[in-house]
Amino acid sequence: MEDETNKMNNQKLFMSKTDNIYRYVAVEGAVKDWACYVGSIIDSVEKVRNYGDKISETRARKLFPEFNHLRWRP
């Protein structure tokens, strides 16, 4: 799985990982919480972050253990 970590224009940290079909984007919120979104591998990180479908907390925590110290965004 490929990953990419970014900090864009004073936004909180986000990380992107891909498999053969999907792009997953984990986004840290302003109040020490986070969520993860999924889209097509051909979609940009920004598109998945802004318009992707939110995945389950269980799946997200397996994909992004780097965010386990944060509260899940409901």
Q: Are 21 and 10 in contact (CB under 8 A)?
A: no
3-state SS, residue 18: strand
State the pLDDT confidence band at 3, using cuts at 50, 70 and 90: low
The one-letter amino acid code at 48 reads V
| Segment 37-51, tens digit of pLDDT | 999 999 999 999 999
| Segment 9-62, tens digit of pLDDT | 445 778 899 999 999 999 999 888 999 999 999 999 999 999 999 999 999 999
pLDDT at 30: 85
